[in-house]
């Protein structure tokens, strides 16, 4: 794909960190393009540099090499064209669902009536109609993540960028929430970049999946997921789905094993072998 067809371009991203044990390269020469309306996922084992890339693309980290651009414009710092959803709980417990979703609109100075109307629209979109006046503490974890999603979507970002948004949820909730995200993505034609370590989730939702290596995080492969749309979680039982999962697991197994050995030798080095 020519870079000019892309809405998001990551070009030769390199991130190094200074650590107590010396410098490490967390992300090494990662380049990819995302097309308008595409659902693109980045998958890799824990510690391979996914969140580091998330922070670079979201403009939260600036000491990297390489360039991120959205619709031809280079990103320097947080940018309204990119809406981020984090793994951690990020709702405000003291605000109702409506006031959570309307919060970023409040910051832009939008009039109260208009932002409440906009918030209600996105609350409905994520399937939380009827919960407008509830507080996050009254909702399940999956519902709270939908509040976060509605809040991010309400700013109408060009790119929806999510870092393991469902990692804290059980597998059934995760699959059903995946359906919801797919429906919304189709409806809004929302360009989406999902960061995950979950193979099922990545195959269920993506048009393409970028598989990362472990340490340093490089591009191992980009896989086209040629499954019909619209999709739902029913697709996980199909043979074609199983083949994609197997193919990606083949790639990831090696990387995950390296990550595990790395952690083990680290533990040994620091704590010594146990008796």
What ranges make up the beta strands (E) of the chain? 8-19, 22-34, 39-43, 65-70, 73-74, 82-85, 159-163, 191-196, 208-212, 219-224
Identify what 44 binds: ligand ADP, Mg ion, none; CB under 5 to 8 Å per kind: ligand ADP
Identify what 49 binds: Mg ion, ligand ADP, none; CB under 5 to 8 Å per kind: ligand ADP
Closest to ligand ADP by CB, 26 or 34: 26
- Cα–Cα distances (Å) from 4 to 1, 73, 107, 118, 213, in that order, read 8, 12, 33, 32, 27
Identify what 145 binds: Mg ion, ligand ADP, none; CB under 5 to 8 Å per kind: none
Identify what 17 binds: ligand ADP, Mg ion, none; CB under 5 to 8 Å per kind: ligand ADP
Would you mind telling me the total number of residues written for the chain in this entry? 275
Phi and psi angles of residue 29, each rounded to the nearest 5 degrees, phi first: 60, 50
The yes or no reply on residue 52 touching Mg ion (CB under 5 A) is no
d(CA 148, CA 155): 12
Q: How far is the CB of 254 from ligand ADP (least distance, A)?
A: 16
Closest to ligand ADP by CB, 19 or 237: 19
Q: Which one of the spans 43-51, 67-75, 215-223, 244-252 is the region binding Mg ion (CB under 5 A)? A: 43-51
Identify what 92 binds: Mg ion, ligand ADP, none; CB under 5 to 8 Å per kind: none
Q: How far is the CB of 75 from ligand ADP (least distance, A)?
A: 18
The yes or no reply on residue 51 touching Mg ion (CB under 5 A) is yes
Distance of CA 110 to the CA centre of its chain: 27
Q: How far is the CB of 103 from ligand ADP (least distance, A)?
A: 26
CB-based contact 87:163 (threshold 8 Å): yes
Q: What would the two tokens of residue 57 be?
A: 């693309």
Identify what 26 binds: ligand ADP, Mg ion, none; CB under 5 to 8 Å per kind: ligand ADP
Closest to ligand ADP by CB, 11 or 262: 262
- Cα–Cα distances (Å) from 76 to 53, 81, 222, in that order, read 14, 12, 26
Number of residues forming the site for Mg ion (CB under 5 A):
2
* Number of helical (H) and strand (E) elements in the chain, helices listed first: 7, 10
State the residues that interact with ligand ADP by CB under 6 A: 17, 19, 26, 44, 46-52
State the residues that interact with Mg ion by CB under 5 A.
Answer: 50-51
């Amino acid at each position: 794909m020519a870079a000019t067809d892309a809405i998001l371009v990551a070009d030769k991203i390199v991130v190094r960190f200074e650590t107590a044990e010396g410098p490490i390269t967390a992300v090494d020469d990662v380049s990819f393009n995302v097309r308008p309306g595409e659902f693109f996922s980045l998958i890799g084992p824990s510690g391979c540099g996914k969140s580091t890339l998330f922070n670079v693309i979201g403009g939260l980290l600036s000491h990297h090499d390489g360039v991120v651009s959205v619709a031809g414009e280079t990103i320097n710092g947080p940018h309204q064209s990119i809406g981020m959803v984090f793994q951690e709980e990020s709702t405000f417990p003291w605000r109702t669902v409506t006031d959570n979703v309307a919060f970023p609109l409040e910051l832009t100075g939008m009039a109260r009536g208009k932002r409440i109307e906009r918030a209600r629209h996105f609350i409905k979109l994520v399937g939380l109609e009827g919960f407008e006046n509830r507080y996050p503490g009254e909702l399940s974890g999956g519902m709270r993540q939908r509040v976060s999603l509605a809040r991010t979507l309400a700013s109408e970002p060009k790119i929806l960028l999510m870092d393991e948004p469902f990692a804290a949820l059980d597998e059934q909730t995760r699959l059903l929430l995946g359906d919801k995200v797919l429906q919304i993505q189709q409806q809004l034609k929302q360009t989406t970049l999902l960061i995950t370590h979950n193979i099922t989730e990545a195959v269920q939702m993506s048009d393409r999946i970028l598989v990362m290596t472990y340490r340093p995080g490089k591009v191992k492969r980009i896989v086209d997921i040629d499954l019909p749309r619209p999709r739902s979680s029913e697709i996980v039982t199909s043979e074609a789905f199983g083949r994609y999962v197997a193919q990606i697991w083949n790639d990831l197994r090696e990387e995950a094993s390296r990550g595990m050995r790395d952690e083990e030798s680290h533990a040994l080095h620091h704590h010594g072998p146990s008796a």
